[in-house]
Structure 1
């Protein structure tokens, strides 16, 4: 089955239409999903990136599908190297955090453990302080803001990192950082 997902990923490219097409096929064939998650962490950065692109699309529709693979996902997101893979994994982390911190009971809230949340937290801090693109840093900021509602030690660290990096980054980074800093000010 793994070869099947790799064959399918060969036809994926940066065009949204191609990513959407494979995500729709996976949504109609859920048995492909575990192999897609595995492909996200392939040694081949091209396969990894394509798989992460598709994973993002699938998770936007069926986020709870990731639950059986959540150990694999959270243990390996920090190993991703390619910018495209990291951006899509960051979006999946954001979706997970949003659902986890939703006021209503849901499968994600029941399934994510503190260990999963800690791994997401560590990875988001790595992305935020590392040499990553703004989109990844924006996802990391928002995830950390949400995670800080559970782990009080996050807010002081997040505030410090955002304030230190404020003058060094682009206008897009500063805009998102200001938004998060304003939210942090409202929380204290």
Structure 2
């Protein structure tokens, strides 16, 4: 029996630890519901490490989380600790890229419209709230792609980026410029 909590506590940003945790999840996909449940414990510090682990898995193979989309997407509006929000935003970006850019047939079958709408809501919330730059950058990128389907998103995204541009960091401005340039075409 694998003690998932103990394994999560070992996770950090070193390549070795990320690879070890990802390998564990690939070998034991039955651990995913428990991992997602720990991610959902948003008031506990371990949820942050669990979210990192879920992000690492998604980077390796996004398809592994597709059967669990309802549970993952339910976490998005309640996650609030910065170290957990960033990986959740990155997971959304992975899903959106898989759906819109690589057009994965598996993702396109399982990432339903209601999921995409909830990701849209979360991304707008992250973009307009007090979040770190990485979270906002992932949200911008996801919203740009979502706006290729939902036409109301691009005008709203443009308004927010233009309004917030002057008061943000160089990293924010760099991503915002890239997105605004795409929106101009």
Flag whether TM exceeds 0.5 (same fold).
yes
Alignment CA distance shift 1:92-1:105 (3 Å): closer
- 1:161 is the counterpart of 2:156: no
Which residue is 1:143 aligned to?
142
Residue 152 of structure 1 and its aligned partner are, at CA, apart by 0.4
Which residue is 2:128 aligned to?
129
- Measure, in 2, the Cα distance between the counterparts of 1:16 and 1:114: 34
- 1:75 is the counterpart of 2:57: no
Residue 18 of structure 1 and its aligned partner are, at CA, apart by 2.1
Across the two proteins, how many residue pairs are aligned to each other?
Answer: 185
What's the C-alpha RMSD, in Å, of the aligned pairs? Answer: 1.6
Alignment CA distance shift 1:13-1:61 (3 Å): closer
Q: How does 1:1-188 map to 2 (within 5 A)?
A: 4-102=3-101, 104-186=103-185
**Does the CA contact (< 8 Å) of 1:22 and 1:54 recur in 2?**
yes
- Measure, in 2, the Cα distance between the counterparts of 1:87 and 1:117: 18
Residue 23 of structure 1 and its aligned partner are, at CA, apart by 1.6
Which sections of structure 2, spanning at least 5 residues, go unmatched? none
- Measure, in 2, the Cα distance between the counterparts of 1:129 and 1:97: 19
**Does the CA contact (< 8 Å) of 2:161 and 2:180 recur in 1?**
yes
Residue 11 of structure 1 and its aligned partner are, at CA, apart by 2.0
TM-score norm. by structure 1 comes to 0.92
TM-score norm. by structure 2 comes to 0.94
Which sections of structure 1, spanning at least 5 residues, go unmatched? none
- Measure, in 2, the Cα distance between the counterparts of 1:101 and 1:91: 15
Task: Please give the per-residue CA displacement for 1:134-177, whole angstroms capped at 9, x wherever unaligned.
Answer: 10000000000000000000011000000000000001101100
Bigger mean CA offset, 167-176 vs 100-109: 100-109
Alignment CA distance shift 1:52-1:71 (3 Å): same
Runs of 4+ residues deviating >4 angstroms: none
